[in-house]
Structure 1
Amino acid sequence: MGEIQKSRRNAHFRYFQNREYWHRSFKLHGAGDLAPGSPVSEYLAAANFQVTGFSGTQATRMQVAQLADITIAHAHAPSGTALWPRDEISRHRAALVLSPNGDVSVSGAGVLTRSPGIALIPPGISEVEFALEQSSNELVFIGMSASLIADIPLPSTTDGEPIDAGVVDGAFRMLTALAQSARREPTGPPLRHAVAEMTRSIVHLMRQGSPLSQPLFDRATEAILLDISNSKLSADTLAPRLGVSARSLQLEFQRHGTTVQRHVRGLRGAAATRMRRENVEIDATTLAQTFGFGSKSALYRALAETAGGAASSP
């Protein structure tokens, strides 16, 4: 093994495999902050990212959370360019980029893009380029084990009509909140699960055709999954995102033999049940907050109604 590759492996282990759950904040005031030995350059080297162009017109701020096999980074940055020269260490990594604010382009072999501002980077070793075109850009980068989305068939192209901007904005807000939460959370597994669920929902959304060609019930289900931690989900808050009235949405759910609130509760209960199975020591308060339950009693009721959920308090 070459010295460069050995050094990369050592740095990668130190940052990502020796510490499963952690949070870091970075701020770049100029190119000098990228000098060898600086905290930012050490992190970028471990992550195998290179800043290839940096305007330095304003500070770059970045929050990075490591959640086991998922890395989530929320960045505010000026115009510039970056490169992910993927290698054997990152062969089995995929990534999702959301950039509804600014102008961020992601290019490379196999990269799938969808308006507004979504890019999916499948696993591989070909390099990926990032270009931030405006003077102010905001983005979320989710790096993940390819196994997280391995069961989702990816399209050869994503030429469908733009995804509803309100849905994307809701997903973006949730992911940025989760990145911030990692700084305060004493345990990482609940956050990791929430990010994983959100990421899978966005990938499912990308592979579909025009959202408006989907049945309203399916569109509503996707919108719920993308904002499942929001305790205020209701027909009134969902309808504007879907371009229909609250009454039309309620009637659609009636045709499916349910109500908006019952469906929301069922989806939350199913997600909470999966997390509970994966993390048997998780406390009820964290579980309720992660999936938008207003109280622990509401969580217990949803678990009791969900197939495989427990009928009694954990």
Structure 2
Amino acid sequence: MSHAIRDLAPGDRPAAWQRALSETFVDLEVTVDQDRDQGRPWTGELTAQRLGALQIATEESGPGTVLRSARAVAADPRTHILVRRQLTGTALLLQDGRTAELSPGRTAFHDARRPFRIVFPERQRARILMVPRAVLRLEERHLHALTATVVDEAEGGAAALLLPLLDGLVDEVGRAGPVRREQLARAAAEILATVALDQAGRPPEPALWERITASLRTRLGEPGLTPRDIADQHAISLRYLHLLFQRHGTTVGAWLRTRRLEAAREELARPGSAHLPIAAVAARWGFTSPSHFSRAFRETYGLSPAQWRRTAAENAPGTRPGPPNLSDDGRIEPMARATMEHV
């Protein structure tokens, strides 16, 4: 089945596109944005084939919006699950109070049983797989949690292994004979079910960020801690770990350095730690080089560790600083140097 909305008069194209999408998927309402389509008349193209329980479609269109309204849900008995895998351009999928920002390589599930909206800010192309909800073998509460969440192979987990395989299977469907096509379609449906199960059980990104950073706060004193250690602990790919920190405006190394300096600064200001050499405090919080710690501390806070300790002691209520064991530049005086040398 193929629909090409390019030979019609421009005014007839939105209605024709709406009919094509509604016949292929579920009842939908369509609006198109003629003005932003890079000065060209709006066009759309849709090809689809059904193989048993699985339907595979490729959709290309100019900017606009697709809406599955509450009225359409009530009037249309189809309750399939649709899986949108973005190939070019971008799309915003909104359902169940969430928004999935889809760029090439990203995938999201949406449920025809409830309203959804897809916004195309630019010309785009996507592959849409449609299956009966029973194929995914998920409880309704898990399906509800799955919709409009981004599945990205860069995030690791099952998606990193299975989405490229799914692409290969779908591409092979177009080249295979009838019997082989049915086999490939069944395999593709199983892959979709596995990806859905993995995604439904994956913590949402805010929860994952909180889990990772909470764990890291307990490991600040490990000088050999690496991004690979962190990624393995939380069962995500190294690439996704770096991407997660990038989305929060930092890097793994910078985040660790900042938290370690904060912890050391707090300990240096604590009266109960006044007897500890600065090198011992630095080592406790993951700094293997006292000189590197002193430089990093001064760059961050504008004072050497010794100056900060003395200032904190002078400002502490009811306390008077004793004679310092450290010089203003953080070097250990003779009385304490032996302690530092074996840290």
TM-score (norm 1): 0.48
Computing the radius of gyration from Cα coordinates, the structure with the larger value is 2
TM-score (norm 2): 0.45
Greater relative CO (CA pairs within 8 A, separation 6+): 1
